[in-house]
Amino acid sequence: MKIIAISGSEIPSIVANSIQTMKAVHALALLGHDVTLIVPMGVEQHYQSEWSELSQLYGLKKEFVIEFLPSASRRLFFFSAIRRAKKLSPDLIYVWPLQSAVLGLFLNLPVILEMHDLPTGRIGPLWFRYFRDSKGTKRITSITKALKQSLVQQYGEQLNDIETVIAPNGVELERFKNLPDKTTARWQAGLPEKKTVICTGHLYAGRGVDLFIKLAQAFADKDVQFVWVGGNESEISWWQKKAESVSNVIFTGFIPNNDLPLYQAAADILLMPYEKNIGISSGKGHSSQVSSPMKMFEYLASGRPIISSDFPVFHEVLNSGNAVFCPAEQVDAWEKAISDLLNDPDRQQKLSDQALLDAEKYTWTERAKKILTNFPK
Rounded Cα distance between 323 and 307, Å, is 6
pLDDT reported for residue 62: 95
* pLDDT tens by residue, 41-58: 875 554 567 899 999 999
Contact 97, 7 (CB under 8 A): yes
* pLDDT tens by residue, 105-128: 999 999 999 999 999 888 999 999
* pLDDT tens by residue, 179-211: 999 999 999 999 999 999 999 998 988 889 999
* pLDDT tens by residue, 299-315: 999 999 999 999 999 99
Rounded Cα distance between 62 and 371, Å, is 19
Contact 279, 250 (CB under 8 A): no
Instruction: Compute the average pLDDT of residues 133-140.
Output: 95
Contact 363, 173 (CB under 8 A): yes
What is the pLDDT of the chain when averaged over all its residues?
93
* pLDDT tens by residue, 323-353: 999 999 999 999 999 999 999 999 999 999 9
Query: Domains, the chain, ranges and CATH?
Result: 2-170+363-372 (3.40.50.2000), 173-359 (3.40.50.2000)
Q: What does the H/E/C string look like for 155-191?
A: HCHHHHHCCEEECCCCECHHHHCCCCCHHHHHHHHCC
